[in-house]
Structure 1
């Protein structure tokens, strides 16, 4: 089962994603429940947010850090486990900008991120891993004036479309409330 949860910044996505992962994991008590964390505690605000997220989770959760690479920590996950990846937005920005991308080769720089996400999704299916992925919906704001920001939002939306095509459930969170979108059969699973 792959679940994609998106919504605005601080809309309640992470709490709903945690509940979804716990519900999926409930039928697999002998397997492991993972939190695949992409955030870096780079400043006080982010450190406080990470601490709040950790405090919400009980002892059933084990954390894997994945600020730049998903596949390396992903290899720790066993068949039948459940994983919450939080959040795709941070991972994408860190991944795309890790090497100080200049405006020229931007399109090529995004391809490895897309390939890595696609590999995680395919492996989750192959090994029967429940995967819940959280991401921010950034394209509901006014279009960015900066070309690099527009490129980043466009690349993030490409990842969202890939994920939505392969997901079993697509959920939007608005003001802490879930809206489940219909998934088109045969859309890329």
Structure 2
């Protein structure tokens, strides 16, 4: 069995990451395009962002299957099919959802075990995350802890990725 391709895409807020990731996945012509959404509509702005992304995907000439997975990423292995294409949007939101309710060492371990299991099945897995490390470390301990976790996860994702992109102003720069 051939391992699926892992693609990591990062960039600032509203930099064009999701659109780039959607186009990338559609070009891969997987059996199904599966959008794994980590966002939870906790306020009006988030509701609008979720609706925008749903409308955007609905306008494409291919069908998307959406799976809401704000936590417990490992549960995906039961619903992903052979030769699917996965777009997971996004790691930073998922981490914020997990950070205060879970043992992060175990969560990180399960995350990478799950990614490995999924790559045994899928054609391609595109992972989107926000770049939040361009700023100075926060004065708040909880924010510093988040920055440390996301930094570690990003580095490991890039190491494991077949391709890695950074988005800025709607343009992608391929680093790997």
Normalising by the residue count of structure 2, what TM-score does the alignment of the two structures yield? 0.91
* Post-superposition offset of 1:175: 1.2
* Kept in 2: contact 1:92–1:113 (CA 8 A): no
- Does residue 149 (structure 1) correspond to residue 143 (structure 2)? The answer is yes
Residue matched to 1:112: 106
Q: Please give the alpha-carbon distance, in whole angstroms, between the structure 1 residues aligned to 2:168 and 2:110.
A: 28
Residue 93 of structure 2 is aligned to residue 93 of structure 1: no
Q: Report the Cα distance in structure 1 between the residues aligned to 2:70 and 2:51, rounded to whole angstroms.
A: 16
Secondary structure of the 1:57 match is helix
Paired position in structure 1 for 2:125: 131
Aligned to 1:37: 37
1:163 aligns with 2:167: no
Unaligned ranges ≥5, structure 2? none
Q: For residue 77 of structure 1, what is the aligned residue in structure 2? A: 80
| 1:11 matched residue in structure 2 | 15
Q: For the Cα contact (< 8 Å) 1:121–1:166, is it kept in 2?
A: no
2:70 maps to 67
* Shift, 1:53, TM fit: 0.2
In 2, the alpha carbon distance for the partners of 1:135 and 1:52 equals 18
* CA apart distance, 1:47: 0.3
Cα distance in 2 for residues equivalent to 1:74 and 1:149 = 30
Q: Residues 65 and 73 of structure 1 are in contact (CA less than 8 Å); yes or no, is this contact kept in structure 2?
A: no
**d(CA) in 2 for partners of 1:113 and 1:69?**
8
Cα distance, 1:35–1:79 mapped onto 2, change above 3 Å: same
CA shift digits 1:26-78 (9 cap, x unpaired): 2x3xx211000000011100000000000000361011111011111332001
Q: How many residues are aligned here?
A: 169
Task: State the superposition RMSD in angstroms.
Answer: 1.3
Alpha-carbon distance in 2 for matches of 1:41, 1:10: 17
Give, in whole Å, the separation in 2 of the partners of 1:22 and 1:98. Answer: 34
CA distance in 1, matches of 2:49, 2:77: 23
Alpha carbons 1:124, 1:130 under 8 Å: kept: no
Moved more, 141-150 or 80-89: 141-150
TM score, norm. by length of structure 1: 0.85
